[in-house]
Structure 1
């Protein structure tokens, strides 16, 4: 006899949530969401971007992660077209950076309070909404990526004051943090932080204590680079022998094993794998169906971390 599906494991339309149910920004969402950054690749084919987003929703995804600086607003515009109010999708965005098409990198930091406010307003405009359900402040305290210098070295309290003011104004529903240390998170806890986005994977587990603090406090842990990265010096989970062995044993792909391990590792982990490829999307969502045996989990847990910390200026 088939067990009934728990009511919180289905979306508003009755579709099973991939990975089951998780908590984010005081809402129940699918534990596997969608990271929209790679939709930038479809700037020449907006209907394809919209179609991919619609497929996400059909598959039970009700948590999409975006930013105004993805494709200079293109990704937000595609989300606006694809997501309908009846879908009840939580669209999370982030602030703290902006496009820099003429610079050595496509992004530059935008950490000052007035820049954070401007980014929130830009997201509201492109998404055509009166409130952003979740805004993550992308800082530069830890992990790979840019490091703040000069006028971009902004005290956390100044940033939180601006963002909590925006929340009080009703323009933000909930606050999160990205690329932060344990000390920064502890300092920010009184602001009611609901999400942390740090680089984290099977091979990059420097933040294990931070993950456990988030679990204790009921804060969602939404890792970026969950399978590593193409950046030099950041190890790829899919190249790890224990991962490829587990994939062979379970008739899965190495990427699916890396994602499945994260789902098994802690209940507050929510995933936002991204792709511009419909086949890869289906494969990512299918990671939710993979059961890792105790022996396989033990073998994966025993893999030594290979932390990376690449600072770009």
Structure 2
């Protein structure tokens, strides 16, 4: 298997550098037209893994991707996340992974994405008010019904991942992780040991802000951008890492995807390895 590819769950073959759709505007108008163009350009450039969620516009992001890409090119998979609901709280959302809610959100996602099966569904957050066995049991039933292909988690600890794996086969974990944010290093290690895909969100956090002078220096030496260096470091960090950088600009998308071809010499990688916040 090429280092540029990964089989999620052992059988879903995708390119390791994907695209996160969270930032795409969904309101009608020029910004939406630009968002459609970004999604289409991602597919044109060979992206095979696009990440969205029920929470992103409460379904509007899923509808946008379907408008842009359906019928989907062969090999392109749109993954989505369920388990949170709209709320009047300051955050604007709340945990809700009750089985009925998960079923409804999956059914809505199938309709919005215009598919009969979602190849990877991820539990956006573990709901502390619902037994984990009930949450994952509902997703397992949906898998048995053929509505989803594989089950993943998001924002989990090592202990939660271990507990979940006693209930279902876990194909992926989506946690916050980047060159400058390695809080979830133990979770990455657990995923690598088990062959579970690790999808870092905010994969270039801090890299484009100029806060990391060393990243900027490495980028200048390699004729690359700080974001490209950060993504290349992630790809080199572990074979199970599948970064999903997001953007609403075609130029930035093309820059991010070019990171797949950036080689980090050992000396440069060692300098990056030593960075942390």
For the criterion TM > 0.5, the same-fold answer is yes
- Local SS of the residue matching 1:273: coil
For residue 222 of structure 2, what is the aligned residue in structure 1?
Answer: 250
**Do residues 38 (structure 1) and 23 (structure 2) align?**
yes
Q: Which of residues 74, 77, 93 in structure 2 aligns to 1:87?
A: 74
Instruction: Using the TM superposition, give the Cα deviation of residue 43 of structure 1 relative to its aligned residue in structure 2, in angstroms.
Output: 4.5
For residue 133 of structure 2, what is the aligned residue in structure 1?
Answer: 157
For residue 99 of structure 1, what is the aligned residue in structure 2?
Answer: 86
Unmatched tracts of structure 2, length 5 or more: none
Distance 2:231 2:4 in 1: 14
Give the TM-score taking structure 1 as reference length. Answer: 0.81
Give the TM-score taking structure 2 as reference length. Answer: 0.91
For residue 114 of structure 1, what is the aligned residue in structure 2?
Answer: 100
Instruction: Using the TM superposition, give the Cα deviation of residue 64 of structure 1 relative to its aligned residue in structure 2, in angstroms.
Output: 0.5
Distance 2:78 2:15 in 1: 12
How many residues align? The count is 271
C-alpha spacing 1:43/1:272, structure 2 compared with 1 (3 Å): farther
For residue 4 of structure 2, what is the aligned residue in structure 1?
Answer: 20
Distance 2:27 2:40 in 1: 15
Contact 2:14 2:75 in 1 (8 A): no
For residue 251 of structure 2, what is the aligned residue in structure 1?
Answer: 279
Within-5 A mapping of 1:1-313? 20-25=4-9, 26-40=11-25, 43-45=28-30, 46-83=32-69, 84-100=71-87, 102-139=88-125, 153-190=129-166, 191-228=168-205, 236-238=206-208, 239-303=211-275, 305-306=276-277
Contact 2:8 2:196 in 1 (8 A): yes
Contact 2:199 2:244 in 1 (8 A): yes
* Worse overlay, 71-80 or 291-300: 71-80
Unmatched tracts of structure 1, length 5 or more: 1-7, 10-18, 141-147, 229-235, 307-313
